Each structure stands twice: as C-alpha cells, then as structure tokens.
Amino acid sequence: MPAETIIDLRSDTVTKPSPAMRQAIATAEVGDDVLGDDPTVARLEKRVAELLGKETAVYVPSGTMANQAAIRAHTHHGDEIILDGDSHVYFYECGAPAALSGCSYRFVQGSRRGIFTAEQMQAVLKPRTLHFPRQSLVVIENTHNRGGGSIWPVQNIAAIRKLAEANDLRMHMDGARLMNACVATGCKPTDYTRYFDSVSMCFSKGLGAPVGSAVAGSAEFIAKVRFFRKQFGGAMRQAGLLAAAALYALDHNIDRLAEDHANARRLAEGLSKLPGVQIDPAEVETNIVIFTIAPTIGTAAEFTARLKEAGIWMMPNAPQKVRAVTHLDVSCEQIDQALARIRKIVTTRL
C-alpha cells in the first residue's frame, strides 16, 4: 500500500511538525536548560504557568515523565494513589508509581468513561490508622483517553476537591489533552486547573509538536519536580529547539482542535451506520473514537490488521473494541475515504 494512501488514526501522537513549526525549531535561541539559561525553555515554562494559572512550570520530555515526576513530588513511599482504573497513569505508564515512587493504587469503583463522583470517591477513602496505607493523592485525567476522550464536568472536580481537602489529599490533573477539553466546552484552562495542586499538559498530541510536556504548580512543588526530572533522566540541555515547537503549537494549534473534534464525530456517525459496528456518536466529545465490533467481523486485532491492509491505521483497545484518534494530519476528506474503505471491509466480512 503506497504511503500516500495511508490514513493514520492510531493516535494524535503521530502528528508531524508543519513547515512553519520546523522553521520555529530551526531559528530557536538556545542555552543549557539544566544550568537554567535556555531562554526558549524559560519562555515556554512562563507561558504554560500563565495558561494554567500556576506559579511556575517545568518542561519535560514526555507526558509519562510529567505525571511520574509530579507523583514522586507529591507522595512518599508506601502511599496510596486514588484514581480511575483505566487512567493513563495506571494503564499505560509501566507501573511507574510503584517502581519510581513506591506507591500503590486505590481504584474508584463505578466511574463511567473514566469519570467518577465525589460520592464514589468517598467509598474508597480509608481512615488514618496504622493498618492502612496513607492516601495522599487523587489523580484525574482530563480528557480521559480510555474513556473515549471524555471530559470531566467542572462540578465533579469541584466536589472532589472539597472532599480531598477535608481528607488532606493533594490533587494532580493528567491534562495531556486538557486543551481538547477546553476547546470542546469553551472553558478556560483555569476553570479546571484551579482545583488542582499540579497539572501536566502535553504538546506532542493534538497540538502537533514533536516532543514534550510540562508540569505546572507552586514554585516549591516545581522545584521538587525539577529534582525528580533530573533523577529520572529527563533533564535536557539545548532543549529550546523542542520548546520552540511547543510555543508554536500554543500560538497556532489550540483553536484548530475543533476540526479534530468535528472529524471524530463525522467518523463516529459514519461508523454507527455500519452493520456489526456499535458506537453512540453522542459520546464522542473530543477527538477519540472507540467502537465495538461484532464477533462476526472478527476480533479487534484481526479487524485492525485488515484495516491496515486497506491503508487505514487504527489500534485495538480491547478484544472487541477499536480506537481511532483524529488529529491535524487527517482531513475531513480522509475521514470520508476511511469510512468508505471500512464499509467495504465490514460488508464483505458479514
């Protein structure tokens, strides 16, 4: 299959930097960030702190490092983290809270599409006695990846914050796709972040930069995160080359996330009309589409293998579930092309 025919919907991490972003990278002013004198990194960190309403921020290589350095700074070995069981921090970060921070997990039961209520969280709180691990941190992912790009209602977050404060718990937001939530709802980032002690955000997903994330919080907290970034091997030298791409993304690629959301809904609506495919387009809030296929079509792994042969790249999400993610390198026309190819595969199989 010629490369030009491929429609890559595996993730929004596959985006390529545009020519204008590459120019920003090429002309970036740089220094040694570990020594604190890379001016482009400093500008990015200041910009992120202002955007997220926090005192300061630190640039890190990846979203996983952003979350894990924040967790390490918030917790002590033996602590327990409260979160949804499908959270990226648990599901996709290689057991890092246990390996790097010595923390265990407590999953909130009854959450829907990764979103839970204060009442559901109340049910997993433990008394502070010598018998139980110390619960120290609540992690919320917004938007929620395995929840299909679901958006946390601000009222849920506010109620959880109130409960967290009453129980001496810190709060961290995995905001890898926070800008998707903001564009979809019209909320400002601070409408969400004001309830959190720390926030991570990613530049290399829908925002289209090649590398990097950031963590924002108080100056005291970010000093700890900087230490753990260095300890985890994430301190970089002339990182302004990468920070310039992130700054370009913040300047040019936030509002256009609405196009990705529209394309995701278009894809979901088309899929919902196909035999053997189950999806509710109303649940597609941002740029992630998760749909279920009937066993008569095959398993998700078998189905995505056939899609790949047709030049459509998606990923299995569960034995009978498939995930597709729209992004700036996939157009509305390509969504229609993908649907036509999928329709042919599905109808041939049934």
pLDDT at residue 2 in the model: 45
pLDDT at residue 36 in the model: 94
pLDDT at residue 5 in the model: 86
Q: Is residue 124 part of a domain?
A: yes
pLDDT at residue 1 in the model: 41
Q: Are residues 185 and 288 in the same domain?
A: no
Nearest to 66 by CA among 172, 179, 208, 178: 172
pLDDT at residue 232 in the model: 97
Q: Are residues 133 and 204 in the same domain?
A: yes
Q: Compute the distance between CA of residue 93 and CA of residue 95 in angstroms, rounded to an integer.
A: 6
- 3-state secondary structure at position 159: helix
Range of the domain at 268: 256-349
Nearest to 286 by CA among 247, 323, 251: 323
pLDDT at residue 350 in the model: 56
Q: Are residues 282 and 156 in the same domain?
A: no
Q: Is residue 168 part of a domain?
A: yes
CATH number for the domain spanning 288: value is 3.90.1150.10
Q: Are residues 176 and 71 in the same domain?
A: yes
Q: Is residue 4 part of a domain?
A: no
Q: Are residues 344 and 219 in the same domain?
A: no
pLDDT at residue 111 in the model: 85
Residue where one domain finishes, among candidates 252, 285, 305: 252
Taking only the tens of pLDDT, the chain with its 350 residues reads 444 589 999 999 999 999 999 999 999 999 999 999 999 999 999 999 999 999 999 999 999 999 999 999 999 999 999 999 999 999 999 999 999 999 999 999 888 999 999 999 999 999 999 999 999 999 999 999 999 999 999 999 999 999 999 999 999 999 999 999 999 999 999 999 999 999 999 999 999 999 999 999 999 999 999 999 999 999 999 999 999 999 999 999 999 999 999 999 999 999 999 999 999 999 999 999 999 999 999 999 999 999 999 999 999 999 999 999 999 999 999 999 999 999 999 988 65
What total number of domains does the chain contain? 2
Q: Are residues 261 and 248 in the same domain?
A: no
pTM confidence score? 0.96
CATH number for the domain spanning 67: value is 3.40.640.10
Strand order in the sheet with 198-202: 56-60, 213-217, 198-202, 170-175, 135-141, 80-83, 104-107
